[in-house]
């Protein structure tokens, strides 16, 4: 196996039944945005807003995976994957989000699941990866409690159709990012800049998770149910350690990490007093019984990790948020996106989860980790990124964290939200003009790593 990892512990020896996978999402790869009865999603709408996405890129065609999934599964077969994490497009299955089901949408996922199983790859669908049906957004989206109920009904529909073959399910992808980027700052769909008034979108997503979990358990005997949270270790600059800075870091941790992990694993919300919560509006959002629904037992916690977040006290405390985002002073390597490469942040996230939740922490799955790098087939920087992070997760396992699987983001270069096609996360390069797929050096590296783990 070729790797340039300088870590003496490379390659780590992970358990024989450790799951190796890749991750994708529907809007980022499928294309076929208006095909076979699919309804519009908030991303179909948002990409048409002038200036919303770099260079006006859209996911209309993306990787054309809808028509080329056989070719993509063949690539997965060459990698020797155990599992494939993808997302189901809610508006492809229930075009207006509630009510009438589109059989052609279900047929697509039926074919995809069968093809994966034929290739010996375990399908691991995510029910919601940010492409809310536009009709539901027109009624308030995740700010409207009814969306949680509709989500559970949609979960029941897909469980009924796929549950005889799909056993591992992920309800939501990164509800923090959807709440903050989509409803808080408006840089993702649905493009609403509500700041703290976005908080109900957190609760309603979590409620939707809890209701969908019940629906899946009713329909799929032995279902394994996860949720994928974006987790970040919160760090202070070494030159900024005042009490105010520490308070700001704690407030950020509460918003990014604990707002989503505590209700799932402890059945309570963290202290949000730095945000003026609870206030009457929040109290009206969280109703009796909701937290018990949200805290229904999970079979696994999905962790998506990319980098730590540096925080300082707000320069202007009256400006609205109790923290400012900061830059680290350390000269970390950066991905093409500009994100610092900090593998030990993954060890910190995992051991931090164990320290906070103890026995309440179910087995953990790294459901996303990867990096954007410049176009080109020789992507040694990606190999270094991945080997560093896999070493970091092995270190957390050595410290007692039960990690069951690792899914690289991503199989293919794809539509990277507000960045359009400018950020390339793929083990496989995609020429978007021809749809030609060409495996990169990291593809062979990941294939060899998986084979070596099994030998
Ligand atoms: O592409 C995204 C994905 O949709 C969610 N997690 C982070 C990835 C990289 O930004």
Instruction: Tell which atom from ligand 1 comes closest to the C-alpha of 368.
Output: 6
As for how many domains the chain has, the answer is 1
**Test site for ligand 1: of 41, 174, 302, 338, most ligand atoms within 8 A of the Cβ:** 174
Residue 252 forms part of a structural domain: no
In what side-by-side order are the strands of the sheet with 324-326? 234-236, 309-312, 324-326
- Distance from C-alpha of 154 to C-alpha of 94, rounded to nearest angstrom: 7
Residue 329 forms part of a structural domain: no
Q: Which domain holds residue 174?
A: 19-239+295-308+337-454
- Distance from C-alpha of 402 to C-alpha of 219, rounded to nearest angstrom: 28
Residue 353 forms part of a structural domain: yes
Residue 381 forms part of a structural domain: yes
pLDDT the model gives residue 280: 77
Of the CA atoms within 13 Å of residue 348, those in its CB half-sphere come to 14
pLDDT the model gives residue 4: 42
Give 100 Cα–ligand 1 centroid separation in angstroms: 30
- Distance from C-alpha of 294 to C-alpha of 393, rounded to nearest angstrom: 27
Give 74 Cα–ligand 1 centroid separation in angstroms: 23
Residue 289 forms part of a structural domain: no
> In this structure, what are the phi and psi dihedrals at residue 73, rounded to the nearest 5 degrees?
-70, -35
Task: Note whether 52 and 45 are within 8 A (CB).
Answer: no
Using CB distances shorter than 6 Å, the residues near ligand 1 are 25, 28, 174, 304, 368, 409, 416
Residue 256 forms part of a structural domain: no
DSSP string, 386-420: HHHHHHHHHHHHHTT--EEEEEEE-SB----GGGT
Instruction: Assign residue 370 the CATH number of its domain.
Output: 3.20.20.80
- Distance from C-alpha of 199 to C-alpha of 265, rounded to nearest angstrom: 19
Instruction: Tell which atom from ligand 1 comes closest to the C-alpha of 304.
Output: 6
pLDDT the model gives residue 241: 62
Q: What is the CA radius of gyration of the chain?
A: 21
Residue 266 forms part of a structural domain: no
pLDDT the model gives residue 317: 84
Write out the H or E segment, with its range, that includes residue 437: strand 436-439
DSSP 3-state percent helix, strand, coil across the chain (nearest 5):
45, 15, 40
**Test site for ligand 1: of 409, 410, 413, 422, most ligand atoms within 8 A of the Cβ:** 409
Give 28 Cα–ligand 1 centroid separation in angstroms: 9
Give the residue carrying structure tokens 């105010």.
244
Contacts of 316 (CB under 8 A, 6+ apart): none
What six digits make up the tokens of 454?
């099994």
149 is catalytic: no
| pLDDT per residue rounded down to tens, the chain (455 residues) | 334 444 457 889 999 999 999 999 999 999 999 999 999 999 999 999 999 999 999 999 999 999 999 999 999 999 999 999 999 999 999 999 999 999 999 999 999 999 999 999 999 999 999 999 999 999 999 999 999 999 999 999 999 999 999 999 999 999 999 999 999 999 999 999 999 999 999 999 999 999 999 999 999 999 999 999 999 999 998 776 689 999 999 999 999 999 999 999 999 999 999 999 988 788 899 999 999 999 999 999 999 999 999 999 999 888 889 999 999 999 999 999 999 999 999 999 999 999 999 999 999 999 999 999 999 999 999 999 999 999 999 999 999 999 999 999 999 999 999 999 999 999 999 999 999 999 999 999 999 999 999 98
Give the residue carrying structure tokens 């910190």.
348
- Distance from C-alpha of 49 to C-alpha of 191, rounded to nearest angstrom: 9
What's the predicted TM-score (pTM) here?
Answer: 0.97
Helices and strands per DSSP (H, E), number in the chain: 16, 13
Residue 441's CB: how many other CB atoms inside 10 A? Answer: 16
Of the CA atoms within 13 Å of residue 340, those in its CB half-sphere come to 19
Catalogue the E-assigned strands of 143-270.
Answer: 168-173, 224-230, 234-236
What six digits make up the tokens of 107?
């047929």
Residue 327 forms part of a structural domain: no
Q: Which burial class, exposed, middle or buried, applies to 261 when counting CB atoms under 10 A from its CB (0-12, 13-18, 19+)?
A: buried
CA distance between the termini of the chain? 12
pLDDT the model gives residue 240: 67
Supply the residue whose CA is at minimum distance from atom 2 of ligand 1: 416
Task: Note whether 157 and 94 are within 8 A (CB).
Answer: yes
């Amino acid at each position: 196996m070729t790797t340039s990892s300088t870590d003496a512990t490379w390659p780590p020896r992970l358990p024989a039944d450790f799951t190796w996978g890749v991750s994708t999402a529907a809007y980022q790869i499928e294309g076929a945005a208006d095909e076979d009865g699919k309804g519009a999603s908030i991303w179909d709408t948002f990409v048409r807003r002038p200036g919303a996405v770099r260079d006006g890129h859209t996911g209309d065609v993306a990787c054309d995976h809808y028509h080329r999934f056989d070719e993509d599964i063949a690539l997965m077969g060459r990698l020797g994957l155990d599992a494939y994490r993808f997302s189901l497009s809610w508006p492809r299955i229930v075009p207006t989000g509630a009510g009438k089901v589109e059989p052609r949408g279900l047929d697509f996922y039926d074919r995809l699941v069968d093809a994966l199983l034929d290739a010996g790859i375990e399908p691991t669908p995510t029910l919601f990866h940010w492409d809310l049906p536009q009709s539901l957004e027109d009624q308030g989206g995740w700010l409207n409690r009814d969306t949680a109920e509709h989500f559970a009904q949609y979960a029941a529909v897909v469980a009924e159709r796929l549950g005889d073959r799909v056993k591992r399910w992920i309800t939501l992808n990164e509800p923090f990012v959807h709440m903050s980027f989509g409803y808080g700052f408006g840089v993702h769909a649905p493009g609403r800049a509500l700041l703290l008034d976005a908080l109900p979108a957190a609760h309603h997503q979590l409620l939707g998770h809890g209701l969908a979990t019940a629906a899946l358990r009713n329909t799929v005997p032995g279902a394994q149910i996860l949720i994928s949270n974006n987790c970040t270790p919160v760090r202070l600059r070494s030159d900024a350690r005042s009490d105010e800075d520490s308070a700001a870091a704690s407030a950020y941790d509460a918003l990014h990490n604990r707002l989503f992990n505590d209700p799932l694993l402890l059945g309570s919300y963290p202290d949000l007093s730095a945000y003026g919560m609870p206030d009457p509006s929040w109290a009206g959002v969280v109703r009796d019984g909701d937290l018990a629904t949200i805290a229904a037992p999970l079979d696994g916690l999905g962790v998506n990790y990319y980098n730590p977040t540096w925080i300082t006290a707000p320069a202007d405390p009256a400006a609205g948020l109790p923290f400012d985002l900061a830059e680290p002073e350390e000269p970390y390597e950066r991905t093409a996106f500009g994100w610092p490469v900090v593998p030990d942040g993954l060890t910190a996230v995992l051991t931090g989860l164990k320290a906070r939740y103890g026995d309440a922490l179910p087995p953990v799955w790294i459901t996303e980790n990867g990096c954007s790098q410049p176009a080109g087939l020789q992507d040694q920087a990606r190999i270094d990124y991945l080997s560093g992070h896999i070493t970091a997760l092995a270190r957390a396992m050595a410290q007692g964290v039960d990690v069951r699987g690792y899914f690289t983001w991503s199989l293919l270069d794809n539509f990277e939200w507000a960045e359009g096609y400018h950020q390339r996360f793929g083990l496989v390069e995609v020429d978007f003009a021809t749809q030609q797929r060409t495996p990169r050096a990291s593809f062979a590296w990941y294939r060899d790593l998986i084979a070596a783990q099994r030998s």
